[in-house]
Structure 1
Amino acid sequence: MAGAENDNRGSFAESPLRAIELEQKPPPAPKPHYAGHRDRLRARVRKSGADTLADYELLELLLFRSIPRADTKAMAKALIARFGSFAEVLGAPEHLLREIKGIGKEAAFDLKVVAASAGRMTHGRINRRAVLSSWQQVLDYCRAAMAFEPRENFRILFLDKKNQLIADEVQQTGTVDHTPAYPREVMRRALELSATAIILVHNHPSGDPSPSRADIEMTRTIADTGKPLGVVVLDHIIVGRDGYATLKGMQLI
């Protein structure tokens, strides 16, 4: 009888406990505070378009995919504060992007892929088209490609007799305030490509696109070298964060 009582007590005690355990499910984890913000930002873009977003908000959208489990608003604002604008963030070197708290290797890499994609789009707008009839697109492309580079680059657009783009090549990379240009090498490459005209392009990392005396003299030297060879220098574009200048437009060549 004592054994039976023990069995009954055991049966009586265990059953209710199991029922209580089944009923006490843990509450669902609360959504992080930034989840609703992300949804609202996406909804704004779908309704009104990305043009309605501030620079930092557009950066947030890009960072959502690279950093799925963190608040990217502060990171986006820090990037703008450091580099100045959306375009300057995309143009910044990868190692400098990673200096911003929260921006790791993958996020910095993804931003550079976006920058490369933007450059490819603008290049496509001038490729195999009459350059002089799409001059603003040429200027936009040059600025997107070079304005935010930390060192001077010397680039040449090679054109055929219809002023269509044959090739777009970076010839030299220099320092923060100087890049060498060799007139003979410029013309040698133009002849190799059967180009009849060229547009010279270089950037000023200082941000000010105003031409220096050296810029003007070198442009005239290259133009003089090309004349007997039938290669015309149509213009020399200088780009910087503050805009662009063209020597032709300034009546310097």
Structure 2
Amino acid sequence: MFKRAAVLVVSCGAVLAGCGAGPEAGSQELVSNLREAGFPAGDIQVHDGQVFVGNDAHVTLEASRELLQRGEGSQEQYSTTNLVGPSVTKICINPTAAFNSYARLSQGLDLAIQNYNALGLRIWFARGPATGCTANITAQTMSGAGGSAGFPSGGLPYGTLNIGTGLQSYSIDVNEHVITHEIGHTIGMRHTDYYDRSISCGTSGNEGTAGVGAILIPGTPVSDPNSIFNSCFNSTANGEFSQYDVVALNYLY
């Protein structure tokens, strides 16, 4: 996820700088699967042996295989075809000690969890340690002022949130926004402006429809400039879902 203040500044994109080098051996199938699924080569980055799309969404090998196993979907807010299965009802987000040491990241996590739980979805979130968890996500820190996560696989949410420590210098609302955005990836939300990053980032770019990997959610518009799931955010972000974010999440869960 990027951030945009007075001037566009790259957050996790900076972490991925120089990632255009050839993938390590273990990543070759994954990259090939993503290309076959429809992601343009320029949208696939490899960093420390891990593969990302859209600059903040980590994709596992299993998830890439699942993309190819699905039939064609609508190209018409967007989701992946990999969603959290019905056996998952309580997702516990467990922050590391390092994460908890940053007060604004910690508060942002609490507010992000509240955002989702206020919707009354079939899945709800708890801050760990907690009992009765049917799935777990680790919240940990990374450098920069953005975040990264990944998409669901095997019916489970992606297991890690990486949140930049640079967000400590931003408002609580911005921290809430970034963490809410990244949690969305873990349960299958794609960038609302995946097809035209200029909507939120100020610079053009198309992440690719990825075939069945970018499904328009019924009841939502093709474009929503207020969506918390847009690619980039700015320093005035309020951390709240847009009306169509709410429609999308209620449709999926």
**TM > 0.5 fold call:** no
Q: Name the structure, 1 or 2, with higher relative contact order (CA <8 Å, separation 6+).
A: 2
Higher strand proportion, which one?
A: 2
Higher helix proportion, which one?
A: 1
State the TM-score, normalizing by the size of structure 2.
0.23
State the TM-score, normalizing by the size of structure 1.
0.23
